[in-house]
Amino acid sequence: MLRWPRSFAFAVTALSIVLAPVYSVEEKPLPAKAPAEKIDGPPVVSAKAWAVADGKTGKVLWGSKEHDPLAIASTTKIMTAHIVLRLAAENAKVLDEVVAFSEAADKTPGSSSDLKAGEKVTVRDLLFGLLLPSGNDAATAFAEHFGGRFKGEGKEDDAVAKFVAEMNRTAKALKMEEAKYLDPHGLSKNLASAHDLATLTFTALKNPLFAKYVQTRRHTCEVVDADGKKREVTWNNTNKLLDIEGYEGVKTGTTTAAGSCLVASGRYEGDHVLVVVLGCTSNDSRYADARNLFRWAWRERGHGSKGK
């Protein structure tokens, strides 16, 4: 009886595997092409939604999905600062009040003003800690400090809840139709539309102090701990547009839920424009999106090469 070597049998088996017929999977048809690019419209951006508003009137001039409610991250702090500065406008002594940092404020996660429990700082200085490094801890401290001055919802002693209730009342009064605040800093999924944030920013910028805070690139101040020891803290603004002449703030925001967000104010040849971009794909893209929208808006309004 003829016997083949085992190695030969393996080779034949392997060859049969290689030579086994391959059946192609039916390919799906290619999708239809999108329409050709338009060259006379707004720039292509990464943002999920955006709005461009006139800085003098607050009117939203252009937008894309500008009424969609989206997570807004730390752009929440525009409202937090607006409420604090509204109190200061009613009573200038508010700015000199001293805020004592609690354990809860100190332990607030995320971006920080880097103050510790027991340390004290004036409202005037802490507003820089809220708006420049985007201190979530500063937002908690403000809500704890001022919340008791407002009507609340729920527990009487919950100052933060009372402050958030005032944020929502203010949003309603400003006709921010899609806004819903859950906290004073943006770590929760606070919602608003690009249109809402343009409306709020236009109102907030009427206060010269707010305008001053949001366009400050760096601020150093002194804080005091529970034992009376002093130390200096320095805060740098997270808004990279301030490195370019003509831009004047206002606020960045970044969370996983919100993506990268930016509310910005800029001037060109005296023309004041506000730009809001929400849900951008990266921090770099939010600045590129905003700058492209600013340039396009100014050209549409008769400035630059189009106006010559």
The verdict on whether residue 251 carries a ligand-binding annotation is yes
Angle at 133 between CA 132 and CA 134, to 5 degrees: 90
Q: d(Cα 59, Cα 190) in Å, to the nearest integer? A: 23
The token pair that represents 283 in the structure block: 């921090």
Amino acid letter, 150: F
- 162 is a catalytic site residue: no
The three-state secondary structure class of 37 is coil
The token pair that represents 41 in the structure block: 């419209």
| H-only helix segments in the chain | 6-18, 77-90, 103-106, 123-131, 136-146, 159-173, 194-204, 208-214, 283-300
Q: How far is CA 85 from CA 52, 117, 208, 243, in A?
A: 25, 24, 10, 25
- 240 is a catalytic site residue: no
| H-only helix segments in 70-158 | 77-90, 103-106, 123-131, 136-146
56 burial type by CB count under 10 A (0-12 exposed, 13-18 middle, 19+ buried) = exposed
- 93 is a catalytic site residue: no
143 neighbors 188 (Cβ within 8 angstroms):
no
Phi, psi of 223 (to 5 degrees): -120, 155
The single residue of 111, 113, 134, 260 carrying the catalytic annotation is: 134
The single residue of 77, 111, 193, 260 carrying the catalytic annotation is: 77
The single residue of 74, 111, 113, 193 carrying the catalytic annotation is: 74
Active site residue ranges: 74, 77, 134
**Residues contributing to the annotated binding site for substrate:** 251
**Residues contributing to the annotated binding site:** 251
